[in-house]
Each structure stands twice: as structure tokens, then as C-alpha cells.
Amino acid sequence: MLRSIRPDDREALQAAMGRLSGEARYMRFMAALKELPPAMLERAVQPIAGRELALVALADAAGEDGERHIVAGARYIAGEDLQSCEFAIAVTDEWCGAGLASRLMQELIRSARARGLKSMEGFILSGNTPMRKLAKRLGFQVTASDEGPGVVRVVLDLVSAQAGGTPGGQGAA
């Protein structure tokens, strides 16, 4: 189940962070975080209306009746110009390869277009091959970044890509 993040997701989001492997946390945050610091956690569960979208994917917890855990999250933050946005995404290790990243990215792209944003960008570690492949499948262009050789910048033109009818204009992911 996908839905917008809520302020009462603090504990569930921190628990999801704990279920990420060290490598997955590093791929998402480009830092060796074990948990979200309080200010970052607070910011994560309270996106700014009209400028940000934050989604979570929930799945039933194994062996627990009715309990759902956050297994993935994605967000974009619009720039000051309200023309472009930057995305970020994380999927817990046990759900990697299940299509959640693709589904979440498609939702981010749809929402960004609906808000009239013109482009979406992200910064991906060069070694994060699955995310680089997903971005390419969705129509993002890969460019060098100012972050150095270990990070690539991916950019999607939300206006011209829309003409293809799918999120990246290149077929379903």
C-alpha cells in the first residue's frame, strides 16, 4: 500500500531505517547513518505542502496480525523557483527487486507533473547500479555532478517526457 507520510509515522520510519543495511543507508544518504537524527526525522514526516511530496510503502509485517511496516519511502522537494525538484528514495533490503522503487518513482513523477514542475533531478552514487538503471528506464538523462566522480546527476524533463505517455516516455518500467 502506498500513501503520503504522516507525522505519526515517526517511529515506523525510524524502524524502517533500522531495517536498511549499512550499504542501503549509505546509498540513500551518502553517509554512514544508523538512524535519522531528530531534526531530520521531524522534517521527513512533515513535508511542506505545495513544495514537497513524501510517500511511504507499507507491507504486512511477517507473523504479526494487522500490523504494517514501512518498507520504502520516496520524496521530492521543489526548488525555490517551483520549476524543478529533487527526488530521493529508499527501499528496505527485503523489498529490493520487488518493483517498489519503480512504482514510487512513477508516483513522484506524476505528482511533479501535476504540480507543473518542469524537471526532476536526483543524485546517485556511481556504484548504485540498480538506481542508475531505474532512472535510465524512466527516461532520466545521466550527467556529471558537482559532487565529484563518485556521484552522478540524473535529470528528467517532465514536460517533453510527458509526450511519450509514460513517466519517462520510454515504456512502462
According to the model, what pLDDT value does residue 161 have? 57
84 sits in which H/E element: strand 84-91
Tell me what the mean pLDDT of segment 132-150 comes to.
92
d(CA 55, CA 63): 25
* pLDDT tens digit sequence for 108-121: 999 999 999 999 99
According to the model, what pLDDT value does residue 138 have? 95
- CATH, residue 40: 3.40.630.30
Structural domain count, the chain: 1
Residue 74 falls within a domain, yes or no?
A: yes
* pLDDT tens digit sequence for 39-91: 888 999 999 988 999 999 999 876 555 678 999 999 999 999 999 999 999 88
Question: At residue 35, does pLDDT exceed 90?
Answer: no
Residue 128 falls within a domain, yes or no?
A: yes
d(CA 12, CA 18): 10
Residue 49 falls within a domain, yes or no?
A: yes
Percent of the chain past pLDDT 90, that is, above it, reads 54
Residue 18 falls within a domain, yes or no?
A: yes
Task: Tell which residue, 84, 171, 76, 89, has the closest CA to residue 128.
Answer: 89
Residue 173 falls within a domain, yes or no?
A: no
Domain ranges, residue 10: 2-164
Beta carbons within 8 Å of 69's beta carbon, 6+ residues apart: 12, 15, 16, 19, 58, 59, 61
Residue 159 falls within a domain, yes or no?
A: yes
Tell me what the mean pLDDT of segment 119-140 comes to.
93
Residue 169 falls within a domain, yes or no?
A: no
Residue 52 falls within a domain, yes or no?
A: yes
Q: What angle do CA 32, 7, 33 make, to 5 degrees?
A: 5
